[in-house]
Chain A
Amino acid sequence: MRIFAFILRGIGQLALLAFLVISATFLMSSLIPGDFFTRQLLDPTIRLETVQQLRHHYGLDQPVHVQYARWLRNSLHLDFGYSLFYQRAVVPIVVDAISKTLWIALPALVLGLLGGIVLGTLHGIRSNRLEGHALDILSTLALSFPTLVLGLGALILASRTHWFPLGSMSSINALQLSVWQWLVDRIRHLALPVACLTVPILASVERIQSAATRTGAKELWVRAARARGLSSRTIFFRHLLRPSLNNVLAVSGPMLGSVLSGSLVLEVIFSWPGLGRIMYDAVFNNDLHLLVGSAAASTVLLVAGNAIADLLMLVLEPRTRTLSQGGLR
């Protein structure tokens, strides 16, 4: 019942947030001078009347509030507009793009979280040893490099070594490959963008986990467990590791936001046709409906990620359930 109520609340929050994001995107886009057809005015072979006609045909000559009202009305029928850049309805483009972004986002999240937890725990336990100091330096370095620099560096490495493809989702002859060959081809194309996206996640999670482990090792219940003569293995897994994961769980939801923003840069560099790419196309070409649709999709993904993280916290951390009912008992 508690969880059901939580889910209902989450859906309500999602709807409200999506509405706010869409409205804000519409408003901000209206502040950008010009529209999708503005740049065609620069072409001396295109007449002003042609551009005006195109604007009228697509309703871009209407005031922003009229366009917004029309868009809202159509969205009630699940019509989220038409992309002038891709010349088709926004929904199939965004859905397709999300599926492609998830190819790099999910592995990056999983690898980043798992790797960060493992390395962070190791760092926390051995913080005063060589491996602890090495991890400290490495995680600092990893966090210092912007995703753009990581991506370009990976591209240059690939071009020099030929170990990995230089972009795209698959090889040109992918359709002629067997299932196994196709899978290997896809993994090779995923390797670099996933690695670049994993590095900052792993570094962030590693630092959070190492701090939580160091703190947890000093907690009373751990000392008490040692005093009771419990095995190191039991102490580690039940009394140290599990509580320390709360901090990582707490940030894993918002981490999806950083994954999505990082993926925008990488998708352009690696020619990966995901959500970030279509947002880039939408902004660069002033494609209003595509911009609103992709912004709304990002919001949905972000809120969904946060909701999943909160749900996991509810399940894994009993104290959260008590707190959610209004205080400790």
Chain B
Amino acid sequence: MHPSSREKNVAVLCLFILVPVLLTSAAAQTQSANYLIRQNLSGFRGGDLVTAINADPSTFNGMMAASFAARMVADRISADLVHINRETFELEPALAERWDLAKDGRTYTLHLRQGVRFSDGSPFDADDVVFSFQVLEDPRSDSVLGSQVQIDGAFPSVSKIDAHTVRLVFARPVGMGLRCLDSVPMLPSRKLAKAFQEGKVASAWGPAAQPQDIVSLGPFRLKEYRRGERVVLEHNPYYWKKDKSGQVLPYLDTITFIIIPDRNAEALRFESGELDMVSTLNPENYASLRRNEKERNYTLRDLGPGLRVDFLWFNLNPGKDKSGRAFVDPQKRALFEQVQFRQAVSSALDRDGIVRSILLGLGTPQFGPISSGNKPWYRPETPRIPSDPAHAKELLAQAGLKDTDGDGVVEFGEPRRPLEIDLLAPRGNAVRERTAEVIKENLSKIGIRINLQPVLPNELVARLLGSFNYEAIVFGFTPTDVAPDLQIDVWYSSGKNHFWHPGQSKPQRAWEAEMDAQISRLVHNLDPAIRKASFNRVQEIWATEMPAIPTIAPHIITGSSNRVGNLRPSILEPPLLWNAEELTKRSDGPSGKQPGARP
């Protein structure tokens, strides 16, 4: 039966209505997120990754996350404007797909990725960027990241140009550029504005928050948190990255962080297969786990020296306490000030012995201010003082120290007395405590008597940076990035972390004045060659003057199940999870399906 004319008219009318609707919806889909495409990446959806953190996260807001556990979780659920690739150490676009630097060298125009949405589906735009910086700047926010973004104590001014463009203006040209924005999360203004106005943004995403209230831009979102037990993150369906075949990341369905405070227990649970990865193994656990590597289907990796360097330094602070007593005996301090003395101590240290006996070979001797693992900035040609007790004794003699009475201890000062030095070491840190014991033994061979004093970490920090009541100390710190700019408080003589003599109003020593000048050149210059040359000079000065004597850098040792794919281990934190959105996990045994792109 042929359709009537009325039926034909209805059909045409429907076409006129439906076609535009379909075309509009198709257009809407093509206007969806401007995805960041990982050209060399392929994988498959599915899998539940299980790993551990050592404590409960105190917040799920990356802006306030200070502890390792909080950062591990918060950084997986949040996203930044630009991000440091932990494998190449290069800065890459993230939520900002590109940026321009004006000729003044301090004005950045960031072009935001369009179509990006938060984990609840709400849109991300320039208002959220402006809001995030307001939170960063507000003292009520308790944000520790604020210090990272401040240049010379000032925050950049942030303004919105349009819905997807913002402008950042720093007080002066910033040598490291936008690296200071790495891991600074962008927060949802619509969700947190009220809390911000009430001064409660610091606690808005605390441990008591409901998962649905935590809205963010990272590859995962919070699914479940049970105090003392675990944190479970789930796949964020609105994430803005894809792999080369167009598969939206992340691949994993969930990441579970089991809270395990004891490192030995963590290693055991990894060995038993309960955990898929462990980021930092100590040497003893590494040795134990190696025996079952093939049988238990996991892979251990020695990534080489991390960024942490342990130092021995002497208190050069000439100040006095409230009662007028000098922090350090003036005659001892005068001795510590002599470069021959510090060089002698460095020459006496058996760094290879420390690596062998304490780190079981999983460490590297160090001779400069930064780790040899920091490949972009480390200067291999930096002069090294040879490890030679005889040479050390000659240097001590040049400093006026000799053992005149044959008791095995050199004498110093007027009247002459045996040289005894109190050495602080952090109690509970096995590597540093045992390193201090080796140092004691090494220095006894050249006639310096060491009185070892292990103290609790908080007391050590209080004496180191508060009362300055110490003579010598074994300690160190772990930079979060390869660029030395973020450690200017160590390099500058006025810095609070210029450990041997912090907070100087002007540099007290000629070599410190030169270091200050070189660091200033580093942080103010945009030319990479000038920056590198400046920091090379800092390393040369350090290697000669030895304000803090480098000892060793422990290696980063990781372990991961062979069912986990797309791992790109890094010496930057977190070694195995920094590219969590790219990781895959086979759910079946080792002979299971091969990874391949699958919608």
Q: Mark A31-43, 1 if CB is under 8 A from B, else 0.
A: 0111100111111
State A309–B207 Cα separation when bound (angstroms): 38
Q: Contact mask B248-274 → A, CB, 8 Å, 1/0?
A: 000000001011111011001101101
**Is the Cβ of B486 less than 8 Å from the Cβ of A45?**
yes
Q: Which of B256, B462, B477, B495 sits near A43, CB closer than 8 Å?
A: B477
Judge if B208 is at the interface, Cβ distance under 8 Å. yes
Contacts of B391 in A (CB 8 A): none
Chain B residues within 8 Å of A85, by CB:
55-56, 58
Kindly state the separation between the CA atoms of A34 and B489 in the bound complex, as whole angstroms. Answer: 20
Check: B144 CB closer than 8 A to any chain A CB: yes
Q: Is B227 an interface residue (CB 8 A)?
A: yes
- Closest A residue to B268 using CB positions: A159
Q: Does any Cβ of A come within 8 Å of B456's Cβ?
A: yes
Distance, CA A54 to CA B145, complexed state (A): 13
Q: Is B333 an interface residue (CB 8 A)?
A: no
Chain B, 168-210, contact with A by CB distance < 8 Å: what is the 0/1 string? 0000000000000000000000000000000000010011100
Q: How far is the CA of A271 from the CA of B265 in the complex (A)?
A: 8
Instruction: Give every chain A residue within 8 A of B489 (Cβ-Cβ).
Output: 44-45, 47
* Interface residue? B150 (CB, 8 A): yes
**CB neighbours of A156 from chain B (8 A):** 268
B39 within 8 A of partner (CB)? no
Q: For the complex, is A86 an interface residue (Cβ under 8 Å from B)?
A: yes
The answer for the CA separation of A46 and B272 in the assembled complex, in Å, is 39
Pair B466/A34 contact, Cβ less than 8 Å: yes
* Residues of A close to B36: CB separation below 8 A: none
Complex-state Cα separation, A280 to B490, whole angstroms: 32
Task: Pick from A96, A167, A175: contact of B265, CB below 8 A.
Answer: A167
A40 touches which of B144, B261, B274 (Cβ 8 Å): B144
Say yes or no: A159-B142 contact (C-beta < 8 A), given A47-B150, A268-B262, A269-B262. Answer: no
Nearest residue (CB) in B for A85 is: B58
B142 x A277 contact (CB < 8 A): no
The answer to whether B274 and A277 touch across the interface, beta carbons within 8 angstroms, is no
Complex Cα distance A311/B523, Å?
A: 72
Pairwise interchain contact B258-A286, C-beta atoms closer than 8 A: no
In the assembled complex, how far is the CB of residue B223 from the closest CB belonging to chain A, in whole angstroms? 11
Size band of the interface chain A makes with B: 35 or more
Interface presence of B463 (CB below 8 A): yes
Contact A271 B466, beta carbon cutoff 8 Å: no
Nearest chain B CB to A100 CB, angstrom units: 7
Knowing A46-B147, A167-B269 are in contact, say whether A86-B495 is a contact too (CB < 8 A): no
B329 at the interface (CB under 8 A from A): no
Interface residue from A34, A57, A162, A286 paired with B272 (Cβ < 8 Å): A162
Question: Does B228 reach chain A (CB closer than 8 Å)?
Answer: yes
**Chain B at the A interface: mostly helix, strand, loop or mixed?**
mixed
A170 within 8 Å of B (CB atoms):
yes
Q: Mark B463-477, 1 if CB is under 8 A from A, else 0.
A: 101100000000001
Of B50, B230, B495, most A-chain CB atoms within 10 Å: B230
CB nearest to A156 among chain B residues: B268
Instruction: Decide yes or no whether B380 CB sits under 8 A from chain A.
Output: no
- Assess whether B497 is interfacial by the CB under 8 Å rule: yes
Set of chain B residues within 8 Å of A100, measured between Cβ atoms? 228
Q: Say whether, besides A57-B142, A85-B58, A168-B230, A45 and B480 are in contact (CB < 8 Å).
A: yes
Residues of A within 8 A of B456 (CB): 32
Interface residues of A in 219-239 (CB under 8 A from B): none
Select from chain B the residue with minimum beta-carbon distance to A277.
Answer: B228
Interface string of B201-244 (1 = CB under 8 A from A): 00100111000000000000000100111101000000000000
Residue of chain A at shortest CB distance from B465: A41
Q: Tell whether B487 is near chain A: CB-to-CB under 8 Å.
A: yes
Within 8 A of B (CB), among A69-123: 84-88, 93, 96-97, 100
Bound-complex Cα distance A178 to B150 (A): 53
The answer to whether A172 touches B457 (Cβ under 8 A) is: no
Interface residue B461 (Cβ < 8 Å from any Cβ of A): yes
Determine whether the beta carbon of B207 is less than 8 Å from that of A88. Answer: yes
Cβ-defined partner of B497 (8 Å) among A44, A152, A269, A278:
A44
B440 contacts chain A at the CB level, 8 A cutoff = no
Is B421 interfacial (CB-CB < 8 Å)? no
Q: B595 on the interface (CB 8 Å rule)?
A: no
> For A320, what are the chain B residues with a Cβ–Cβ distance below 8 Å?
none
Contact assessment for A44 and B477 in the assembled complex, using a CB-CB cutoff below 8 Å: yes
How far is A48 from B495 in the complex, measured between Cα atoms in Å?
Answer: 9
The answer to whether A54 touches B496 (Cβ under 8 A) is no
Give the nearest-CB partner of B147 in chain A. A47
Q: Mark A165-196, 1 if CB is under 8 A from B, else 0.
A: 11111101001000000000000000000000
Instruction: Point out the residues of chain A lying under 8 angstroms from B317, CB to CB.
Output: none
Whether B262 contacts A50 by the Cβ 8 Å rule is: no
Chain B residues with Cβ below 8 Å from A32 are 456, 458-459
Is A254 an interface residue, CB under 8 A from the partner?
no
Closest beta carbon of chain A to B321's beta carbon, Å:
14
| Residues of the A chain whose Cβ atoms lie less than 8 Å from the Cβ of B461 | 33-34, 38-39, 41-42
A210 to chain B, nearest CB (A): 35
- Of all chain A residues, the one with the shortest Cβ separation from B499 is A42
Q: How far is the CA of A277 from the CA of B456 in the complex (A)?
A: 19
* Nearest chain A CB to B28 CB, angstrom units: 37
The winner among A45, A47, A273, A281 for most chain B CB atoms within 10 A is: A45
Q: Does B518 contact A (CB under 8 A)?
A: no
- B528 on the A face (CB < 8 A): no
- Is B148 part of the contact surface with A, judged by Cβ < 8 Å? yes
Q: Which residues of A contact B50 (CB under 8 A)?
A: 172
- Judge whether A33 and B480 touch: CB under 8 Å: no
Task: Tell me if A26 counts as interface (CB < 8 A to partner B).
Answer: no
Top-4 shortest CB links A-B: A273-B228, A33-B462, A34-B458, A47-B147
List 11 additional A-B contacts (Cβ < 8 Å) besides A32-B456, A168-B260, A271-B258: A43-B144, A45-B147, A50-B146, A54-B142, A86-B207, A86-B227, A87-B206, A93-B227, A159-B268, A268-B262, A271-B260
A contact residues vs B (CB 8 Å cutoff): 32-35, 38-50, 53-54, 57, 84-88, 93, 96-97, 100, 152, 155-156, 158-159, 162, 165-170, 172, 175, 268-274, 277-278, 280-281, 286
A-B CB contact pairs (8 Å), 29 listed? A32-B459, A33-B458, A33-B463, A34-B458, A34-B459, A34-B462, A38-B461, A39-B457, A40-B66, A42-B461, A44-B490, A44-B495, A44-B497, A57-B140, A85-B56, A87-B58, A87-B206, A88-B206, A152-B264, A155-B264, A167-B265, A168-B260, A169-B228, A169-B229, A172-B256, A271-B229, A271-B262, A281-B55, A281-B56
